[in-house]
Amino acid sequence: MDLSGHWLAVGHLAAGLVCCNCILRLNFAFILVYAPMHVTSKRDMDKTTLLCKALQVAIFAHCTAAVSLAIAQTKTPASEAHMDSSTIAADGTAFVTRIVPVPKTISEEAQKRLARPSTDTAVPESLAERRRGTDEWQNRTGKAFRTKYPVGVELALISGVSVRVITPVSTPPSNRKRVLINLHGGGFNSDSGSLTESIPVAYLSGIKVVAVLYRLAPEHPFPAALEDAVAVYRELLKTYRPENIGIFGTSAGAILTGEVAVKLRDLGLPLPKALGIFSGMGDFALAGDSISLYALNGLSGHLDPPQPQLAGKNEYSGGVPLTDPSLSILYANLHGLPATLFVTSGRDLLLSGTTILHRAFLRAGNDAQLVVFEALPHAFWNDPSLPETTEADEIMARFFDTRLGR
């Protein structure tokens, strides 16, 4: 704990009191010594009285200033609560305070988003409230994306699984034999991406996207979502060649994308040509560093201490051991998986999870690319107002357009 600000304030206060004491002593000395020797008339006495009062005013002003400075020193931004500090516990746990300005290295729109405050207080929310709010946001933001990227959206069933089919208004003939599968984000218990993740990629790549509305936890824990995604892929193989298929997802969907790829390989099915793992991870058993630093909105908002056994993860895992390679693919054999694009950002709570999994893909000898956007929070590409969202969507779309067959 740094108490330098407090000791500085005490120093100023003590100095002020010492000065006041000295001046007061001089004032008394003047009255006791100088006045009897030199004051010989009423006029001189009046002058002396005025001089003494002036000295008293000066003393009071100086003492007041000293006290005010002392108080101010304890309230400046340099005090303990607002300064860079760090304490490292015996086990290495870091207790830190940092001053982090909004960086000028990102767009003005992104700067405004980072400057938007969020409460640090946990706000209780039932699962029904979460799903209702997420559905409303997804529909509202999906419309905003459709205004920017005109596409057709239809609900359908594929192999008994509900899906959204997002089709570009104008599909080049060379793309009609290609298809992308989206596995949306939403913590495995809601849909926060079937529209916002799929619409821009479909439009920018000119490739139809099938967004899988997989069964959700906790009603349907692992491997329900995995089974739904595999079922849709199997059915699409009847129409599309595997080299013309790509799979991608954000957050929970990014995790599921990796699980699907490992499952398809283990089942002996032909693999898709490319994967997109956007702000994901491959290890439910160990928490990465970034999840200790960032909340959903980056540095702003409520943040729980990192715990591998979080309720949401247990709801999804369904009692499966968290190191099971079909759940946490970091423990699986990753050799021979498709070319994969990893995307994350500097204040993403899954920054660590994404980069750890990317390195695992590289160690396995896979073609794996990593793009990290500066400063932005988790899954920022769901925000259509950011220039960085356009850039990210273009990178994603271009990756699939260049990797898939024709």
Q: Do both 13 and 160 map to the same domain?
A: no
Residue 191 lies in a domain: yes
- What percentage of residues in the chain have a pLDDT greater than 90? 72
Q: CA 250 to CA 281: how far, in whole Å?
A: 10
Residue 12 pLDDT greater than 80, yes or no? no
Peptide bond preceding 103 in cis form (omega within 30 of 0): no
Residue 119 lies in a domain: no
**3-class DSSP assignment, residue 107:** coil
Q: Do both 167 and 106 map to the same domain?
A: no
Q: Do both 318 and 279 map to the same domain?
A: yes
Q: Closest Cα partner for 195 from 210, 180, 207?
A: 210
Residue 38 pLDDT greater than 60, yes or no? no
Could you say which of 22, 55, 80 is where a domain stops? 80
Q: Do both 69 and 215 map to the same domain?
A: no
Residue 46 pLDDT greater than 70, yes or no? no
Q: Does 151 or 56 have the greater pLDDT score? A: 151
Q: Do both 190 and 214 map to the same domain?
A: yes
SS (H, E, C) the chain: CCCHHHHHHHHHHHHHHHHHHHHHHHHHHHHHHHHHHHCCCHHHHHHHHHHHHHHHHHHHHHHHHHHHHHHHHCCCCCCHHHCCEEEECCCCCEEEECCCCCCCCCCHHHHHHHCCCCCCCCCCCCHHHHHHHHHHHHHHHHHHHHHHCCEEEEEEEECCEEEEEEEECCCCHHHCCCEEEEECCCCCCCCCCCCCCHHHHHHHHCCEEEEECCCCCCCCCCCHHHHHHHHHHHHHCCCCCHHHEEEEEECHHHHHHHHHHHHHHHHCCCCCCEEEEECCCCCCCCCCCHHHHCECEECECCCCCCCCCCHHHHHHHCCCCCCCCCCCHHHCCCCCCCEEEEEEEEECCCHHHHHHHHHHHHHCCCCEEEEEEEEEECCHHHCCCCHHHHHHHHHHHHHHHHHCCC
Residue 387 lies in a domain: yes
Q: Burial level of 364, CB count in 10 A (0-12/13-18/19+)?
A: middle
Q: Which residues contact 151 (CB under 8 A, 6 or more apart)?
A: 166, 167, 168, 169, 199, 202, 203
Residue 130 pairs with which residues in a beta bridge?
A: none
E-only strand ranges, 191-299:
208-212, 245-250, 274-278
Looking at residue 3, what is its pLDDT? Answer: 40
Q: Does 43 or 339 have the greater pLDDT score? A: 339
Looking at residue 83, what is its pLDDT? Answer: 79
Q: CA 349 to CA 265: how far, in whole Å?
A: 29
Q: Do both 178 and 243 map to the same domain?
A: yes
Indicate the pTM of the whole model: 0.81
Q: Do both 208 and 103 map to the same domain?
A: no
**3-class DSSP assignment, residue 184:** coil
Residue 279 lies in a domain: yes
- The total of structural domains in the chain comes to 3
Q: Do both 289 and 300 map to the same domain?
A: yes
Q: Do both 342 and 388 map to the same domain?
A: yes
Q: What confidence tens digit (pLDDT) does each residue in 348-358 have? A: 999 999 999 99
What confidence category does residue 313 fall into, taking pLDDT thresholds of 50, 70 and 90?
Answer: low
Q: CA 110 to CA 243: how far, in whole Å?
A: 37
User: What number of other Cβ atoms are within 10 A of residue 60's Cβ?
Assistant: 11
* Residue range 141-169: mean pLDDT, rounded: 98
For the chain, first and last CA: distance in Å?
Answer: 63
CATH code of the domain in which 145 resides? 3.40.50.1820
Q: What confidence tens digit (pLDDT) does each residue in 159-205 have? A: 999 999 999 998 889 899 999 999 999 999 999 999 999 999 999 99
Contact call for residues 167 and 202 (beta carbons, < 8 A): yes
Q: Do both 163 and 197 map to the same domain?
A: yes
Residue 251 pLDDT greater than 80, yes or no? yes
Residue 122 lies in a domain: no
Residue 60 pLDDT greater than 70, yes or no? no
Residue 13 pLDDT greater than 70, yes or no? no
Q: What confidence tens digit (pLDDT) does each residue in 101-121 have? A: 999 999 999 999 999 988 899
Q: Do both 217 and 203 map to the same domain?
A: yes
Q: Do both 37 and 151 map to the same domain?
A: no
Residue 121 lies in a domain: no
Q: CA 378 to CA 297: how far, in whole Å?
A: 7
Residue 131 lies in a domain: yes
Residue 298 pairs with which residues in a beta bridge?
A: 295
Q: Give the C-alpha distances (Å, rounded to integers) separating 242 from 101, 236, 264, 265.
A: 47, 9, 11, 12
Q: Which domain holds residue 266?
A: 127-403
Looking at residue 331, what is its pLDDT? Answer: 98
Token look-up 């040509």 returns 273
